[in-house]
Amino acid sequence: MKRALSIVRNAAAVLLAFAALAGCARLQPWVKPYERERLADPVMKLQRDGLSDKHFEHVREVREGSRGATGVQGGGCGCN
Amino acid sequence: MAAIDGVRRFGTLIARLLGLAGGLAAVGSAKAVDLPENRADLMFHGYDGGGVRATGPALLVRKSMLDRVSLSASYYADMVSNASIDVVTQASPYKETRNEYAVGADYAVRDALISLSASTSREPDYQADAVNLDVSQETFGGMTTVALGFTRARDKVGRKDIGFFDRASHWRYRVGVTQILTPRWLASINAEAVSDDGFLGSPYRAARVFGALVPERNPRTRSGRAVKLRTIGEIADRQSVRAEYRYYWDTWDIRSHTAEAGYARHFGEQWLADAYLRYYSQRRALFYSDNATAETLYVSRNRQLGTFSSVGLGAKLAYTWKRVPGQYEVRLQGALERSRFDFTDFTDIRTGSPYAYDANVVQVFVSATF
Amino acid sequence: MNVKLQTLLRCAAGAWLAAALGLAAGDADATLAAASKAPDFTLPVIGGANLRLQEQRGRVVMVNFWATWCGPCRVEMPHLNRLYDKYRGSGFVLLGVNIDEEPRKAADLAAKLGLRFPVLLDADKKVSRLYDLTAMPSTVLIDRDGRVRYIHRGYRDGFEDTYEKQIRELLKE
């Protein structure tokens, strides 16, 4: 199992590097700036209200043992 | 030691990436990134769960100057009334207030947004100061946004009867990539390394060894990593779904999974509603024990480090009270989240069975963007 | 496992950044270069008749691509209004090409902002593709002979001064 996982990981790393370098020159941005209307809608925002998200993240960081990668800017206070 | 080494190497990588990002900023086209919009938020928040009640106001103001810099300031207060299971079974309920102040500046340079902020949090027995630096760079025709961040925090740890007696330091390194997949879907991946050094427990908390209460003993270092994958997409006109998953692991042997799924939609021109489901599960820290049956170097009965899971359901509703497109918008919003925490290896010594509690989070706020 | 995942994360981050670097370099406008002939188009104007770019030959034309969902576009509008009023008598015409999927939204916002220049509707993005827009808003300045002279991508505070300078320069020719 461990060996299979490590093979998958190495393969993924190689694939990523290959994809990045191989199609480099030919790849053009496929979503043009004038096609971004739907993405500008508030429902498509990952973080809409910073203050509200900050409070939720603070509550979670105090109650749970995990930290980080929340996408909310500004670290929590880590208070007891 | 190896853990700190790992964090240092990660830090060097981030530094190199930051250099690359800076280079990108120099090479980039004349297109410019937008500063965050001006806004003012006033919020009243409340938390009630497991015997702890924390309420208070929060305020955020952000204004851009000369179309170059966006300055922000925020204030957050927590009036805590603590009658949690630890407090009730080992001491007596207490009340205290925590105040947090933060200031920040966001600077737009061509395709990059550089954010610098500082915050300080004060309570009678804990003081935390932090500085954050975040750089966000748009590349690939604005389809990919690469973000790097660094936080450095220093805390002063105290106890009400003896004052401040120790310190704690924290380092956080963040990297994130947000990618537009189609005109209706985007995905992001975020990774963060968190490292702590110093007094990392609570001077009030006790652990249980052979049934007797002893002061807890925590390691003086902790190093954790988190990776989060997110995707959000528009499934129908003005409706979106999102899904996220985060995996966290650290040197205290804690492993956790966080999964969240949400749905948002507009109702008419003025209402915007969100609903989400959040699941969290955690495996205990190596030295955590509800009732230790051996004398170990580190021992803790901090239920935050135990094995538990929580399921939460949340909803948010926003009402646009006044909108003048291109000028300002005022919204009234409310958010509610209810979650249930179920512990596997923490017993409620009042009843003898595994501890569980419900928690409610409430927010009511007014936002104005201008 | 720790170290291997770290290595994977590093590879991924590095590869992605390398791709981004390589692609940022190739980010230039492919089809629309200064001193080339401005591609001709015909679009409906809000309030009825069609307007053709070729018919504007002999005048200095500024084509501004905008959308209701684009913040900087809205900030730019009062400046464009002012420039249109100031120079329309001297042989200058400003065409605001809106790319919203719903033309009704464009008409509403144009009325709210009090736009005095003609607003053209490009809902199916044909002209946007023709001009290969790489930013929103995009402003193209075309001289009296129908040649593209200046291209502005995005809008920042102070661009309107550059617009004015370039309009005066092209009007003098």
- Would you kindly state where each structural domain of chain B is located, as residue ranges? 2-369
Q: What's residue B9's pLDDT?
A: 62
Closest partner CB to A55 (pick from B170, B239, B363): B363
Both tokens assigned to B197: 């050094």
Both tokens assigned to B5: 């080494």
Let me know if B191 is exposed, middle or buried by CB neighbors in 10 A (0-12, 13-18, 19+). buried
Cβ pair A56:B132 closer than 8 A: no
Q: What's residue B89's pLDDT?
A: 80
Q: Are A67 and B226 in contact (CB under 8 A)?
A: yes
Cβ of C136 under 8 Å from any chain A Cβ?
Answer: yes
Cβ of C9 under 8 Å from any chain A Cβ?
Answer: no
B79: CB partners within 8 A, 6+ apart: B54, B55, B56, B95, B97
A-chain residue closest to C71, CA distance? A40
Stretch B74-85: mean pLDDT: 91
- Report pLDDT digits (tens) over A48-77: 999 999 999 999 999 998 988 887 765 555
Cβ pair A34:C23 closer than 8 A: no
Q: What's residue B291's pLDDT?
A: 93
- Report pLDDT digits (tens) over B63-72: 998 878 999 9
Cβ-Cβ contacts under 8 Å, C15 against chain A? 13, 16-17, 19-21
Closest partner CB to A12 (pick from C8, C65, C125): C8
Which chains does chain B touch, 3 or more C-beta pairs < 8 A?
Answer: A, C
Q: What's residue B34's pLDDT?
A: 78
pLDDT grade for B227, boundaries at 50, 70 and 90:
very high
Both tokens assigned to B225: 């990593």
Statement: residue C11 has pLDDT above 70: no
Cβ pair A20:C5 closer than 8 A: no
Cβ-Cβ contacts under 8 Å, C161 against chain B? none
Statement: residue B28 has pLDDT above 50: no
Q: What's residue C28's pLDDT?
A: 44
pLDDT grade for C12, boundaries at 50, 70 and 90:
low
| Alpha carbons B274 and B120: distance in angstroms, whole number | 31
- Report pLDDT digits (tens) over B156-196: 999 989 999 999 999 999 999 999 999 999 999 999 999 99
For residue A12, give how far its alpha carbon lies from the nearest alpha carbon of chain B (Å).
Answer: 15
**Residue B198, Ramachandran bin (φ over 0: left; ψ between -120 and 50: alpha; else beta):** left
Cβ-Cβ contacts under 8 Å, A54 against chain B? 76
Stretch A4-30: mean pLDDT: 68
B82: CB partners within 8 A, 6+ apart: B51, B52, B53, B93, B94, B95, B96
| Alpha carbons B210 and B291: distance in angstroms, whole number | 6
Residue C30 or A3, more confident: A3
Q: Are B335 and B318 in contact (CB under 8 A)?
A: no
B-chain residue closest to A76, CA distance? B130
| Mean pLDDT of the residues in chain A | 78
| Alpha carbons B19 and B33: distance in angstroms, whole number | 19
Residue A32, in any domain of the structure: no
Residues β-bridged to residue C140: C63, C151
For residue C154, give how far its alpha carbon lies from the nearest alpha carbon of chain B (Å).
Answer: 5
Residue A1 domain boundaries: 1-25
Q: Quote the DSSP letter at residue A40.
A: G
Residue A72, in any domain of the structure: no
- Report pLDDT digits (tens) over B86-101: 888 877 888 899 999 9
Cβ of B65 under 8 Å from any chain C Cβ?
Answer: no
C-chain residue closest to A22, CA distance? C19
Give the global pTM. 0.84
Q: What's residue C35's pLDDT?
A: 72
Cβ-Cβ contacts under 8 Å, B186 against chain A? 39, 44, 46
Which chain B residues in 263-322 lie under 8 Å from chain C, judged by CB atoms?
Answer: none
Cβ pair B146:C20 closer than 8 A: yes
Which chains does chain C touch, 3 or more C-beta pairs < 8 A?
Answer: A, B
Both tokens assigned to B128: 């935390």
Burial per residue of B42-77, b for 16 or more beta-carbon CB atoms within 10 angstroms, e otherwise: ebebebebbebbbebebebebebeebeebebebebb
Stretch B334-354: mean pLDDT: 95
Closest partner CB to C24 (pick from B13, B24, B189): B24
| Alpha carbons B324 and B50: distance in angstroms, whole number | 44
B-chain residue closest to C155, CA distance? B32
| Alpha carbons B252 and C107: distance in angstroms, whole number | 60
Both tokens assigned to C106: 């464009």
| Mean pLDDT of the residues in chain B | 90
pLDDT grade for C13, boundaries at 50, 70 and 90:
low
Cβ of B142 under 8 Å from any chain C Cβ?
Answer: yes
| 3-state DSSP percent of chain B in helix, strand and coil, to 5 | 10, 70, 25
Stretch B250-258: mean pLDDT: 96
Cβ pair B6:C9 closer than 8 A: no
> Domains in chain A: how many in total?
1
For residue B232, give how far its alpha carbon lies from the nearest alpha carbon of chain A (Å).
Answer: 7
Cβ pair B202:A37 closer than 8 A: no
Stretch B141-163: mean pLDDT: 92
A-chain residue closest to C101, CA distance? A37
Both tokens assigned to A19: 């994809």
| Alpha carbons B69 and B28: distance in angstroms, whole number | 19
Q: Are B242 and B220 in contact (CB under 8 A)?
A: no
Residue A13, in any domain of the structure: yes
| Residue to test with chain B: of C7, C16, C98, most B Cβ within 10 A | C16
Stretch C51-70: mean pLDDT: 92
When mean pLDDT is compared across B91-95, B252-256, C57-61, the lowest value belongs to B91-95
Stretch C114-139: mean pLDDT: 91
| Residue to test with chain B: of C8, C17, C75, most B Cβ within 10 A | C17
Query: Side by side, which strands form the sheet with C60-66?
Result: C119-121, C92-98, C60-66, C138-142, C148-153
For residue C27, give how far its alpha carbon lies from the nearest alpha carbon of chain A (Å).
Answer: 8
Residues of chain A with a CB closer than 8 angstroms to some CB in chain B: 28-33, 35-39, 41-44, 46, 49-52, 54-56, 59-60, 62-71, 73-75, 77-80
B282: CB partners within 8 A, 6+ apart: A64, A65, A66, B254, B255, B256, B257, B306, B307, B308, B309
ipTM summary value: 0.88
CA torsion, points B74, B80, B85, B90, in degrees to nearest 10?
A: 120
| Alpha carbons C160 and C34: distance in angstroms, whole number | 19
Cβ of C99 under 8 Å from any chain A Cβ?
Answer: yes
pLDDT grade for B140, boundaries at 50, 70 and 90:
confident
Closest partner CB to A39 (pick from B141, B180, B204): B180
Tell me the CATH number for domain B2-369.
2.40.160
Statement: residue C27 has pLDDT above 60: no
CA angle in degrees (0–180, nearest 5) for B221-B223-B225:
170
- Report pLDDT digits (tens) over B284-303: 999 999 999 999 999 999 99
When mean pLDDT is compared across B31-45, B307-321, C139-153, the lowest value belongs to B31-45
| Alpha carbons C36 and C131: distance in angstroms, whole number | 12
Report helix, strand or coil for B186: strand
Both tokens assigned to C76: 């730019």
Residue A3 or B219, more confident: B219
A-chain residue closest to B141, CA distance? A29
| Mean pLDDT of the residues in chain C | 83
Closest partner CB to C154 (pick from B31, B324, B325): B31
Residue A54, in any domain of the structure: no
Residue A40, in any domain of the structure: no
Which chains does chain A touch, 3 or more C-beta pairs < 8 A?
Answer: B, C
Residue A51, in any domain of the structure: no
| Alpha carbons C112 and C68: distance in angstroms, whole number | 11
Percent of chain C with pLDDT over 70: 80
Statement: residue C118 has pLDDT above 60: yes
Q: For residue B166, which of B124, B200, B138, B131 has the smallest C-alpha distance?
A: B200
